[in-house]
Amino acid sequence: MAEAKLQETPTEAMIARLSMPQGGWAQAAREDALARLRAMGLPQRRDEYWKFTRPDTLTQPEAQPAAIFDHGEAPLFHDTDRLRIVFVDGEFDAEASDDLALEGVSIERLAAADSDLHWARDLYGALEKNGQTPVQRPLAALNTAFASDGVLIHVTGQVSKPINLVYTHRSETSDAMLHHVVKLEKDAEVTLLENGPAAARFNTVMEVEVADTARFHHVRAQGRDHERRAATHVFTRLGSESLFKSFTVTVNGALTRNECVIELTGDDASAHVAGACVGDGDFHHDDTVFITHDAVNCESRQVYKKVLRNGATGVFQGKILVKEGAQKTDGYQISQSLLLDGDSQFLAKPELEIYADDVACSHGSTSGAIDEDALFYLRARGVSHAEATDLLTLAFLAEAVEEIEAEDLREEVDGKAFPGKFATCARKSTGVSARGWSVVAPDGCHQRYRCDLSRPRQSDVGAVGAGP
């Protein structure tokens, strides 16, 4: 027995402590995911897509304790008219949630949807499985197999107000796993909000199918807990003339790994994915994106900004794959870091893989400190050093934040998402916002900086690329 225990793999150790929900329409998908998980094994540091991020605390059987952080502020989207669906440490809270009835959409919980003819039967685990090629994503397969709950959202029309998934962390040892499925029918449109630290350790998967001419908007804030750990996955497939837009803001957290896998399968589709993070001290933040163009005249954008200080680490891994025949592709990718001290680091791996000859694709990555000339410019006009630094930091993040299409949500993120002085400095004695200092770069500039004043002194770690 002792010998067998010594030979137990990390994958089998994780599986042994989890219980798979039994029965129902998702059973076949869960068993398939479990088989795939056993075949590929949980991620290890030697895996190519995990070389910048140690997966140990995400794959060990027990979650590391994470102290609960109360910042004393109203949660993001508090003043937004929305439908709230609340999960506390991964458990659905019916009393805190709103009635799930809303025009143009049906909403059910994964744990309560037991019909064998359910519409989600053909979607649950399907996009996740497709996203395992060419890069394996074992934590997503783990989620498909063992997720205990989540929401199933079927959008058939124009939804009048956002749907808000609210995550609350109350137990220092909670280990939550949620799986969401979203299906948009032709011409449908919905905005999905997520906010809050979900648990001490959180593993989530969201599968989104966007039909022809449908529009999906996603805005996510990952909570302010200092010690929480999270691995998130978004898998989406787009039809013709459809739109997918996703933005994530992250402040605090010991370890965050956000993966986004997008397939553009219909002509004239558009996918925008963006993120902004502010990290301080023991902070590791990893954005890993894989976008596949498999149709004609499609557009994709990746815009990521990270502000790091006191030894924080930021990671970006972004790839654009243009398949043969995917002509007229427009693919844009930029990742930038603002390092506020010499102890922080930014690790970037931008990639292009192109098999079509009529494309416009580019990628770039920069890292540096605040421009001393810009800082002097503001100081000379009576702005204190601290406020000037904050203004330039907000301006640096602006390009990513502006990927949020709805103005009210964009202003909400601008005003509340960033901690302390970042959120208010622009409205102090200066009387202007960070955007008031901004200058848009000339058309055709590859870097496309939103704010020249926020432009750091840079060292290039990526290059401009284009199709043959």
Specify if 437 maps to a domain: no
pLDDT of residue 265: 98
Q: Which two structure tokens, joined as six digits, stand for 92?
A: 């659905």
Closest by CA position to 154, among listed 241, 230, 214, 200: 214
Cα 390 to the center of its chain, rounded Å:
24
Q: Which two structure tokens, joined as six digits, stand for 110?
A: 């994964």
Closest by CA position to 371, among listed 382, 379, 381, 362: 379
Cα 50 to the center of its chain, rounded Å:
17
Specify if 408 maps to a domain: no
- Reading the chain (468 residues) residue by residue, the pLDDT tens digits are 454 554 689 999 999 999 999 989 999 999 999 999 999 999 998 999 999 999 999 999 999 999 998 877 778 898 899 999 999 999 999 999 999 999 999 999 999 988 887 899 999 999 999 999 999 999 999 999 999 999 999 999 999 999 999 999 999 999 999 999 999 999 999 999 999 999 999 999 999 999 999 999 999 999 888 999 999 999 999 999 999 999 999 998 999 999 999 999 999 999 999 999 999 999 999 999 999 999 999 999 999 999 999 999 999 999 999 999 999 999 999 999 999 999 999 999 999 999 999 999 999 999 999 989 989 999 999 989 888 888 899 889 998 999 999 999 998 888 777 754 444 443 333 333 333 333 223 333 333 333 333 344 443 333 333 333
* Rounded-to-5 percentages of helix, strand, coil across the chain: 20, 35, 45
Specify if 102 maps to a domain: yes
Specify if 246 maps to a domain: yes
Please name the residue ranges forming H helices in 18-68.
27-40, 56-59
What is the total count of domains within the chain?
A: 1
Specify if 155 maps to a domain: yes
Amino acid code (one letter) for 447: Q
Distance, CA of 281 to CA of 272 (rounded, Å): 30
Q: Please return the burial class of 328, using the count of CB atoms within 10 Å of its CB with bins 0-12, 13-18 and 19+.
A: middle
What range defines the domain where residue 85 resides?
Answer: 8-369
Specify if 395 maps to a domain: no
Please name the residue ranges forming H helices in 41-162.
56-59, 126-130, 138-146
Specify if 347 maps to a domain: yes
Distance, CA of 149 to CA of 152 (rounded, Å): 10
pLDDT of residue 460: 37
Specify if 326 maps to a domain: yes
pLDDT of residue 84: 98
At 389-443, the pLDDT tens digits run 888 998 899 989 999 999 999 988 887 777 544 444 433 333 333 333 332 233 3
Q: What is the pTM of this model?
A: 0.89
